[in-house]
Copies of this chain bind each other. A is one copy, B any other.
Amino acid sequence: MAEFERVAVIGAGGFLGTNLARFLASRIRDVRCYGRRRAFPEALHGLGWVTGELADAHLAEAVAGCDIVIHLASTSTPATADRDIVADAEANVMGSLRLMEHCVAGRVGRLVFLSSGGTIYGIPTAIPTPESAPTDPITAYGAAKLAIEKYLEIFHRRHGLDYRILRVANVYGPYQTAEKGQGVVAAFLARALAGRPLKIWGDGHVVRDYVFVSDVIDAIWATLQYEGESRVFNIGGGVGYSLLQVIAAIDALFGRQIERCFLDSRPVDVPTSILDCSLAQSQLAWRSQTSFEDGLAMTLEWMRRQSVGDG
Protein backbone atom coordinates (compact mmCIF):
# COMPACT_ATOMS: atom_id res chain seq x y z
CA MET A 1 0.00 0.00 0.00
CA ALA A 2 1.46 3.29 -1.11
CA GLU A 3 1.73 6.06 1.46
CA PHE A 4 0.79 8.78 -0.97
CA GLU A 5 -2.62 9.79 -2.13
CA ARG A 6 -2.15 12.74 -4.45
CA VAL A 7 0.08 12.55 -7.53
CA ALA A 8 0.49 15.01 -10.40
CA VAL A 9 1.74 13.85 -13.78
CA ILE A 10 3.24 16.72 -15.78
CA GLY A 11 3.27 15.86 -19.46
CA ALA A 12 0.48 13.34 -18.94
CA GLY A 13 -0.90 13.58 -22.46
CA GLY A 14 2.08 12.09 -24.26
CA PHE A 15 3.14 8.51 -24.86
CA LEU A 16 4.68 7.72 -21.49
CA GLY A 17 2.28 10.05 -19.67
CA THR A 18 -0.82 8.36 -21.03
CA ASN A 19 0.46 4.95 -19.95
CA LEU A 20 1.49 6.27 -16.54
CA ALA A 21 -1.75 8.12 -15.82
CA ARG A 22 -3.81 5.05 -16.70
CA PHE A 23 -1.66 2.90 -14.41
CA LEU A 24 -1.79 5.35 -11.50
CA ALA A 25 -5.53 5.88 -11.82
CA SER A 26 -6.14 2.33 -10.64
CA ARG A 27 -3.88 2.72 -7.61
CA ILE A 28 -4.00 6.32 -6.38
CA ARG A 29 -7.01 8.26 -5.16
CA ASP A 30 -6.10 11.61 -6.67
CA VAL A 31 -4.20 11.67 -9.97
CA ARG A 32 -3.86 15.09 -11.55
CA CYS A 33 -2.97 15.17 -15.23
CA TYR A 34 -1.35 18.24 -16.74
CA GLY A 35 0.03 18.76 -20.21
CA ARG A 36 -0.11 20.60 -23.49
CA ARG A 37 -2.45 18.18 -25.19
CA ARG A 38 -3.76 14.64 -24.98
CA ALA A 39 -2.67 12.44 -27.86
CA PHE A 40 -5.38 9.94 -26.83
CA PRO A 41 -8.06 11.80 -24.86
CA GLU A 42 -10.28 8.72 -24.66
CA ALA A 43 -7.48 6.80 -22.94
CA LEU A 44 -7.54 9.34 -20.10
CA HIS A 45 -11.32 9.37 -19.84
CA GLY A 46 -12.48 10.05 -16.27
CA LEU A 47 -9.14 11.46 -15.14
CA GLY A 48 -8.84 15.12 -14.17
CA TRP A 49 -7.04 17.09 -16.86
CA VAL A 50 -5.57 20.59 -16.98
CA THR A 51 -4.18 21.93 -20.24
CA GLY A 52 -1.03 23.99 -19.87
CA GLU A 53 2.64 24.57 -20.59
CA LEU A 54 5.48 24.41 -18.04
CA ALA A 55 5.59 28.20 -18.27
CA ASP A 56 1.94 28.67 -17.30
CA ALA A 57 1.20 30.13 -13.88
CA HIS A 58 -1.56 27.62 -13.16
CA LEU A 59 1.02 24.83 -13.09
CA ALA A 60 1.54 25.97 -9.48
CA GLU A 61 -2.03 24.97 -8.61
CA ALA A 62 -1.68 21.65 -10.39
CA VAL A 63 1.20 20.56 -8.15
CA ALA A 64 0.33 22.31 -4.88
CA GLY A 65 -0.14 19.86 -2.06
CA CYS A 66 0.80 16.80 -4.07
CA ASP A 67 2.69 14.03 -2.36
CA ILE A 68 4.47 13.31 -5.61
CA VAL A 69 4.97 15.12 -8.90
CA ILE A 70 6.19 13.14 -11.90
CA HIS A 71 7.75 15.33 -14.57
CA LEU A 72 7.63 13.88 -18.09
CA ALA A 73 7.03 17.08 -20.02
CA SER A 74 9.19 18.06 -22.96
CA THR A 75 8.42 20.30 -25.90
CA SER A 76 11.12 18.71 -28.04
CA THR A 77 12.81 15.49 -29.10
CA PRO A 78 16.50 14.70 -29.65
CA ALA A 79 15.95 15.42 -33.33
CA THR A 80 14.15 18.76 -32.91
CA ALA A 81 15.75 20.47 -29.87
CA ASP A 82 18.86 21.53 -31.83
CA ARG A 83 16.80 23.58 -34.28
CA ASP A 84 16.47 26.43 -31.81
CA ILE A 85 18.72 25.78 -28.83
CA VAL A 86 17.79 28.93 -26.95
CA ALA A 87 14.05 28.42 -27.34
CA ASP A 88 14.44 24.80 -26.30
CA ALA A 89 16.34 25.75 -23.14
CA GLU A 90 13.79 28.44 -22.33
CA ALA A 91 10.89 26.01 -22.67
CA ASN A 92 12.40 22.94 -21.06
CA VAL A 93 15.19 24.01 -18.70
CA MET A 94 13.59 27.21 -17.45
CA GLY A 95 10.18 25.56 -17.48
CA SER A 96 11.48 22.73 -15.31
CA LEU A 97 13.15 25.18 -12.92
CA ARG A 98 9.82 26.97 -12.52
CA LEU A 99 8.19 23.59 -11.86
CA MET A 100 10.78 22.96 -9.11
CA GLU A 101 9.92 26.34 -7.62
CA HIS A 102 6.21 25.45 -7.66
CA CYS A 103 7.00 22.12 -5.98
CA VAL A 104 8.87 23.90 -3.18
CA ALA A 105 6.09 26.46 -2.71
CA GLY A 106 3.42 23.74 -2.89
CA ARG A 107 5.23 21.53 -0.35
CA VAL A 108 5.49 18.60 -2.75
CA GLY A 109 6.95 15.53 -1.09
CA ARG A 110 8.96 14.25 -4.03
CA LEU A 111 9.66 15.25 -7.62
CA VAL A 112 10.42 12.38 -10.02
CA PHE A 113 12.05 13.48 -13.25
CA LEU A 114 12.16 11.38 -16.39
CA SER A 115 15.55 12.07 -17.94
CA SER A 116 17.12 10.63 -21.05
CA GLY A 117 19.45 7.65 -20.83
CA GLY A 118 20.04 7.77 -24.56
CA THR A 119 21.30 11.35 -24.77
CA ILE A 120 22.61 12.46 -21.38
CA TYR A 121 25.91 10.59 -21.65
CA GLY A 122 26.68 11.74 -25.17
CA ILE A 123 29.03 9.29 -26.86
CA PRO A 124 29.44 6.70 -24.09
CA THR A 125 32.89 5.96 -22.70
CA ALA A 126 31.66 2.58 -21.41
CA ILE A 127 29.08 0.11 -22.75
CA PRO A 128 26.83 -0.68 -20.97
CA THR A 129 26.88 2.80 -19.44
CA PRO A 130 26.49 3.20 -15.66
CA GLU A 131 25.00 6.30 -13.99
CA SER A 132 28.49 7.40 -12.90
CA ALA A 133 29.77 7.72 -16.48
CA PRO A 134 30.73 11.18 -17.81
CA THR A 135 27.77 13.22 -19.02
CA ASP A 136 28.77 15.04 -22.20
CA PRO A 137 25.62 15.40 -24.32
CA ILE A 138 25.98 16.07 -28.04
CA THR A 139 22.45 17.40 -28.50
CA ALA A 140 20.51 20.29 -27.00
CA TYR A 141 17.97 17.72 -25.86
CA GLY A 142 20.58 15.96 -23.74
CA ALA A 143 22.09 19.23 -22.49
CA ALA A 144 18.65 20.37 -21.29
CA LYS A 145 18.03 17.09 -19.45
CA LEU A 146 21.44 17.35 -17.80
CA ALA A 147 20.88 20.95 -16.72
CA ILE A 148 17.53 19.98 -15.21
CA GLU A 149 19.17 17.09 -13.32
CA LYS A 150 21.87 19.35 -11.89
CA TYR A 151 19.38 21.99 -10.80
CA LEU A 152 17.28 19.35 -9.02
CA GLU A 153 20.26 18.81 -6.73
CA ILE A 154 20.51 22.57 -6.14
CA PHE A 155 16.81 22.80 -5.22
CA HIS A 156 17.30 19.82 -2.95
CA ARG A 157 20.23 21.42 -1.14
CA ARG A 158 18.73 24.87 -1.01
CA HIS A 159 15.06 24.09 -0.39
CA GLY A 160 14.98 20.46 0.76
CA LEU A 161 13.06 19.30 -2.33
CA ASP A 162 13.28 15.51 -2.51
CA TYR A 163 13.88 14.26 -6.04
CA ARG A 164 14.66 11.11 -8.01
CA ILE A 165 15.76 10.84 -11.62
CA LEU A 166 15.13 8.04 -14.09
CA ARG A 167 17.41 8.08 -17.13
CA VAL A 168 15.21 6.13 -19.45
CA ALA A 169 16.38 4.33 -22.60
CA ASN A 170 14.36 4.16 -25.84
CA VAL A 171 10.83 3.49 -24.67
CA TYR A 172 8.31 1.88 -27.01
CA GLY A 173 4.85 0.42 -26.70
CA PRO A 174 1.15 1.29 -26.87
CA TYR A 175 0.19 4.98 -27.18
CA GLN A 176 3.43 5.87 -28.91
CA THR A 177 2.86 7.61 -32.21
CA ALA A 178 5.32 8.20 -35.00
CA GLU A 179 4.24 11.84 -35.28
CA LYS A 180 6.90 13.45 -33.08
CA GLY A 181 9.78 11.88 -34.98
CA GLN A 182 10.75 10.02 -31.81
CA GLY A 183 10.21 6.32 -31.37
CA VAL A 184 11.61 4.23 -34.16
CA VAL A 185 9.55 1.20 -33.15
CA ALA A 186 6.27 3.07 -33.54
CA ALA A 187 7.45 4.60 -36.80
CA PHE A 188 8.56 1.26 -38.25
CA LEU A 189 5.45 -0.63 -37.17
CA ALA A 190 3.16 2.11 -38.50
CA ARG A 191 4.90 2.10 -41.88
CA ALA A 192 4.96 -1.68 -42.03
CA LEU A 193 1.21 -1.77 -41.28
CA ALA A 194 0.61 0.85 -43.97
CA GLY A 195 2.66 -1.10 -46.50
CA ARG A 196 5.25 1.65 -46.78
CA PRO A 197 9.05 1.17 -46.74
CA LEU A 198 10.95 1.60 -43.44
CA LYS A 199 13.20 4.68 -43.45
CA ILE A 200 16.62 3.97 -41.96
CA TRP A 201 18.88 6.89 -41.02
CA GLY A 202 22.44 5.75 -41.66
CA ASP A 203 23.56 2.20 -42.34
CA GLY A 204 21.33 0.60 -39.72
CA HIS A 205 24.17 -0.25 -37.33
CA VAL A 206 23.18 2.36 -34.74
CA VAL A 207 22.53 0.40 -31.54
CA ARG A 208 19.89 1.37 -28.99
CA ASP A 209 18.58 0.03 -25.72
CA TYR A 210 14.82 -0.54 -26.08
CA VAL A 211 12.58 -0.81 -23.07
CA PHE A 212 8.89 -1.63 -23.08
CA VAL A 213 6.65 1.06 -21.65
CA SER A 214 5.04 -1.08 -18.95
CA ASP A 215 8.51 -1.89 -17.61
CA VAL A 216 9.21 1.84 -17.34
CA ILE A 217 5.91 2.35 -15.54
CA ASP A 218 6.97 -0.37 -13.09
CA ALA A 219 10.26 1.46 -12.56
CA ILE A 220 8.43 4.73 -11.86
CA TRP A 221 6.11 2.95 -9.44
CA ALA A 222 9.10 1.47 -7.60
CA THR A 223 10.73 4.90 -7.50
CA LEU A 224 7.68 6.49 -5.88
CA GLN A 225 8.06 4.12 -2.97
CA TYR A 226 11.84 3.99 -2.79
CA GLU A 227 13.29 5.30 0.46
CA GLY A 228 17.01 4.69 -0.14
CA GLU A 229 19.83 7.13 -0.81
CA SER A 230 20.26 6.78 -4.57
CA ARG A 231 18.81 9.52 -6.70
CA VAL A 232 19.66 8.66 -10.31
CA PHE A 233 18.76 5.39 -12.03
CA ASN A 234 19.27 4.08 -15.52
CA ILE A 235 16.11 2.38 -16.79
CA GLY A 236 16.56 0.31 -19.92
CA GLY A 237 16.28 -3.13 -21.38
CA GLY A 238 20.00 -3.61 -20.85
CA VAL A 239 20.34 -5.17 -24.30
CA GLY A 240 21.43 -3.44 -27.48
CA TYR A 241 19.59 -3.81 -30.75
CA SER A 242 20.86 -2.35 -33.99
CA LEU A 243 18.29 -0.85 -36.34
CA LEU A 244 18.87 -3.84 -38.62
CA GLN A 245 18.06 -6.17 -35.71
CA VAL A 246 14.90 -4.18 -34.97
CA ILE A 247 13.88 -4.59 -38.57
CA ALA A 248 14.69 -8.30 -38.52
CA ALA A 249 12.41 -8.66 -35.48
CA ILE A 250 9.65 -6.80 -37.33
CA ASP A 251 10.16 -8.98 -40.38
CA ALA A 252 9.77 -12.04 -38.14
CA LEU A 253 6.60 -10.60 -36.61
CA PHE A 254 5.04 -9.96 -40.01
CA GLY A 255 6.33 -13.22 -41.44
CA ARG A 256 7.81 -11.47 -44.46
CA GLN A 257 10.57 -9.01 -45.34
CA ILE A 258 9.35 -5.43 -45.00
CA GLU A 259 10.65 -3.02 -47.63
CA ARG A 260 13.30 -0.59 -46.41
CA CYS A 261 15.27 2.41 -47.67
CA PHE A 262 18.49 3.91 -46.35
CA LEU A 263 18.93 7.67 -45.72
CA ASP A 264 21.84 9.81 -44.52
CA SER A 265 22.66 9.43 -40.83
CA ARG A 266 21.59 12.19 -38.48
CA PRO A 267 24.23 14.10 -36.49
CA VAL A 268 22.15 13.64 -33.34
CA ASP A 269 22.84 9.92 -33.31
CA VAL A 270 25.43 8.46 -30.99
CA PRO A 271 26.61 5.14 -32.43
CA THR A 272 25.70 2.93 -29.48
CA SER A 273 23.65 3.39 -26.36
CA ILE A 274 23.08 0.58 -23.88
CA LEU A 275 22.37 1.34 -20.24
CA ASP A 276 23.81 -0.46 -17.24
CA CYS A 277 20.73 -0.88 -15.05
CA SER A 278 22.29 -2.76 -12.16
CA LEU A 279 21.67 0.12 -9.73
CA ALA A 280 17.93 -0.01 -10.40
CA GLN A 281 18.07 -3.75 -9.89
CA SER A 282 19.84 -3.53 -6.52
CA GLN A 283 18.05 -0.42 -5.20
CA LEU A 284 14.59 -0.57 -6.73
CA ALA A 285 14.41 -4.34 -7.16
CA TRP A 286 13.52 -3.52 -10.73
CA ARG A 287 14.53 -5.02 -14.00
CA SER A 288 13.11 -5.02 -17.47
CA GLN A 289 10.70 -7.98 -17.74
CA THR A 290 9.55 -7.80 -21.33
CA SER A 291 11.62 -9.28 -24.13
CA PHE A 292 11.92 -7.12 -27.22
CA GLU A 293 10.05 -9.69 -29.28
CA ASP A 294 7.12 -9.78 -26.82
CA GLY A 295 7.03 -6.00 -26.48
CA LEU A 296 7.05 -5.61 -30.24
CA ALA A 297 4.18 -8.09 -30.60
CA MET A 298 2.12 -6.27 -27.94
CA THR A 299 2.79 -2.93 -29.60
CA LEU A 300 1.74 -4.25 -33.00
CA GLU A 301 -1.38 -5.79 -31.49
CA TRP A 302 -2.30 -2.41 -29.95
CA MET A 303 -1.65 -0.64 -33.24
CA ARG A 304 -3.87 -3.07 -35.11
CA ARG A 305 -6.68 -2.49 -32.65
CA GLN A 306 -6.21 1.27 -33.01
CA SER A 307 -6.44 1.08 -36.77
CA VAL A 308 -9.80 -0.71 -36.62
CA GLY A 309 -11.09 1.88 -34.15
CA ASP A 310 -11.09 -0.49 -31.19
CA GLY A 311 -8.80 1.88 -29.15
Interface residues on A, range: 20 to 34
Encode A64-75 as 1/0 by CB contact (under 8 A) with B: 000000000000
Distance A146 CA – B267 CA, assembled complex (angstroms):
23
Known A90-B94, A93-B93, A94-B90: A85·B143 in contact at CB below 8 Å: no
- Contact residue among B85, B147, B157, B158 (Cβ-Cβ distance under 8 Å from A158): B85
- Contact residue among B85, B97, B267 (Cβ-Cβ distance under 8 Å from A85): B97
Binds B, one of A27-35, A131-139, A167-175, A286-294: A131-139
Distance A134 CA – B155 CA, assembled complex (angstroms):
19
Known A147-B150, A150-B147: A97·B101 in contact at CB below 8 Å: no
Chain A contacts with B in 28-45, Cβ cutoff 8 A: none
Q: What's the minimum C-beta distance from A13 to chain B, rounded to whole angstroms?
A: 25
- Contact residue among B85, B134, B151 (Cβ-Cβ distance under 8 Å from A151): B85
Write 17 A-B pairs (CB below 8 A) sorted by A numbering.
A85-B100, A85-B101, A85-B151, A85-B154, A86-B98, A89-B151, A90-B94, A93-B147, A94-B94, A137-B150, A138-B153, A140-B151, A143-B153, A146-B150, A147-B147, A147-B150, A157-B267
